[in-house]
Structure 1
């Protein structure tokens, strides 16, 4: 059996709020709780959910920018959570990240060319000619003119800065790029350009993406599969077409119903979900969504629903919509589905 490019098993991250040097007492923020999924080579897995649901924390855990409280992150079968610095450095070449804010994620003291070549020079010495050639080649790949390598980030537009961030991520020839809200700060037209660029790079280079977003229209265009998170947990994971055509979890239904539709004649008949998102410091017992769920039953209030594999290949955590007849005991191994026969299409 082919090993997935990325496998996440029972990933958990708690932030202690206790006082004192050791911070062993007091409450904890349960940012990520028992998350499992996998990503195949050349696939795009989108992670969606409300603000504060743990999407960005998952991204930082995958990069090991923060240390996990529990669980495993395997890159091509190697658990990076337990690696020491020399071995971890080698694994970092396989996974790179594009950050949400193109303004603060670039060093303002370096030129565009220096920003692109800096990651490579952490691993190998480059001559001036090699640096110039690498920067020019990657700038052309992301749709920028080679002479822009001499400009500073302050001399670039928002879209150009995000392209520069993508070029920097590509400099180490990664197999996986984690894009954390990579287009949320950009204008709609620039968003389309960046998304089309990512799709082109995926087709040309076979790069896999973990794409974190809150804009469902963007997810629908770029994703192969979608993982829906609520209060630190995955509540539904399915192929993009399946999820948008027939959402099963009540929270997924609510997210899709709340998405704006560019049709002034459409009358919205769906009733929005009421109430506030519970605190991750003191999450409710049972299903975290039950205080806001119109379908909640007594079992939802006392028992955390397990991820259940359904007939159409999706996994859902819901006592009402997905009774636990077949419990998904190995989520990461079973959640890596075949990529769509028809890849996502460009936006414009």
Structure 2
């Protein structure tokens, strides 16, 4: 089928808060605001940002674990946000999720083999021989011995449990996997093993990933494109190479500058950001980043910037760096081109 595998249009999620006795208006938490992006088959789109920016809410909306306040989520041009119970159930086979905690996301009373085959048995009946063959095959794919199917999650290491979670996600042969902080709970050496496993599986099976993380080192290793979120909105969307070589949005610069550098001889880009993240209940007017932005001008305090295409194909929401009119843009400082944060 032509077109992207996943297409998100103006996705929005608000959580209403209880109104006071004398307050007739109900305040809302603006968790996600008008997100739009797409993911091609076999591509990895990474979503990054500070804690509380709405990344995990996006994951749940994409999986239809919650209903959006507005917008559309299309899988092969079918809007799953509007599907009813039985029609949505059929689409569950197309998309699966790998959760952050590899222990709490697994049923401790089931063996590894039962955990892997349970999703399939929600759709079709399997004989005992078929269940064992399926579990053994998937365990091999994720680098585990077939004999592990008889163990319980409590008898496994953190890395083994995360591999088990990946095997479970693969059981239905999905086209899309949402990975929400899938390696953040693991040791660095185990993280590398899991990331390489995901990349190998993608190459073999053509799976698309939406990989949500706050770790820029992980993102640079696994991503094809990167979407940077701030307070529920995407502020920059670019290829991995372009984003890390020349970040354009001031918030992207600050994120990369804040990432630890393992080599003390490498030069860091200084992009200090002062102040706290604003409340999603009462976000600032105009650009949400303007109270902390060193480049903010008067227009930033009034108008919400839209994602504007740049000459290299990236999208940036910034009145200063990427004005919609295309004039009076402040050039990306030369220091960005020599940024050596990896």
Output the TM-score relative to the length of structure 1: 0.91
Q: Is the CA contact 1:98–1:166 (under 8 Å) kept in the aligned structure 2?
A: yes
In the other structure, the counterpart of 1:37 is 37
Q: Give, in angstroms, the shift of residue 269 of structure 1.
A: 5.8
Q: Structure 2 unaligned runs (5+)? A: 327-342
Once the two structures are superposed, what CA deviation does each residue of 1:323-342 show, in whole Å capped at 9, x if it has no partner? 1037xxxxxxxxxxxxxxxx
SS at match of 2:290: coil
In the other structure, the counterpart of 2:142 is 142
CA distance in 2, matches of 1:106, 1:68: 26
In the other structure, the counterpart of 2:307 is 307
Task: Please list every run of at least 4 consecutive aligned residues from structure 1 whose deviation after the TM superposition is greater than 6 angstroms.
Answer: none
CA distance in 1, matches of 2:236, 2:325: 16
Q: Is the CA contact 2:253–2:271 (under 8 Å) kept in the aligned structure 1?
A: no
SS at match of 1:178: strand
Q: How many residues align?
A: 324
Structure showing greater relative contact order (alpha-carbon pairs closer than 8 Å, 6 or more residues apart): 1
- The question of 1:235 aligning with 2:232 is answered no
Q: Give, in angstroms, the shift of residue 267 of structure 1.
A: 5.8
Q: Give, in angstroms, the shift of residue 24 of structure 1.
A: 8.5
Q: Give, in angstroms, the shift of residue 18 of structure 1.
A: 1.7
Once the two structures are superposed, what CA deviation does each residue of 1:153-196 show, in whole Å capped at 9, x if it has no partner? 10010000000000000000000000000000000000000000
Q: Give, in angstroms, the shift of residue 272 of structure 1.
A: 1.7
SS at match of 2:162: helix
Q: How does 1:2-81 map to 2 (within 5 A)?
A: 2-19=2-19, 25-81=25-81
Q: Give, in angstroms, the shift of residue 210 of structure 1.
A: 0.2
In the other structure, the counterpart of 1:279 is 279
CA distance in 1, matches of 2:254, 2:157: 35
Q: Give, in angstroms, the shift of residue 263 of structure 1.
A: 1.4
CA distance in 1, matches of 2:26, 2:313: 41
- The question of 1:189 aligning with 2:200 is answered no
CA distance in 2, matches of 1:269, 1:100: 30
Q: Is the CA contact 1:18–1:25 (under 8 Å) kept in the aligned structure 2?
A: no
Q: Is the CA contact 1:99–1:105 (under 8 Å) kept in the aligned structure 2?
A: yes
Q: Is the CA contact 2:228–2:234 (under 8 Å) kept in the aligned structure 1?
A: yes
Q: Give, in angstroms, the shift of residue 19 of structure 1.
A: 4.5
CA distance in 1, matches of 2:269, 2:232: 29
Q: Is the CA contact 1:295–1:320 (under 8 Å) kept in the aligned structure 2?
A: yes
CA distance in 2, matches of 1:316, 1:118: 43
Q: Is the CA contact 2:99–2:105 (under 8 Å) kept in the aligned structure 1?
A: yes
CA distance in 1, matches of 2:154, 2:295: 51
Q: What is the root-mean-square deviation of aligned Cα atoms in Å?
A: 1.4
CA distance in 1, matches of 2:223, 2:133: 32
In the other structure, the counterpart of 2:249 is 249
Q: Structure 1 unaligned runs (5+)? A: 327-348
In the other structure, the counterpart of 1:342 is none
Q: Is the CA contact 2:50–2:230 (under 8 Å) kept in the aligned structure 1?
A: yes
In the other structure, the counterpart of 1:221 is 221
Once the two structures are superposed, what CA deviation does each residue of 1:112-144 show, in whole Å capped at 9, x if it has no partner? 000000000000000000000000000000000
Q: Is the CA contact 2:257–2:269 (under 8 Å) kept in the aligned structure 1?
A: no
SS at match of 1:35: strand
Of stretches 64-73 and 1-10 in structure 1, the one that deviates more from structure 2 is 1-10
CA distance in 2, matches of 1:200, 1:266: 30
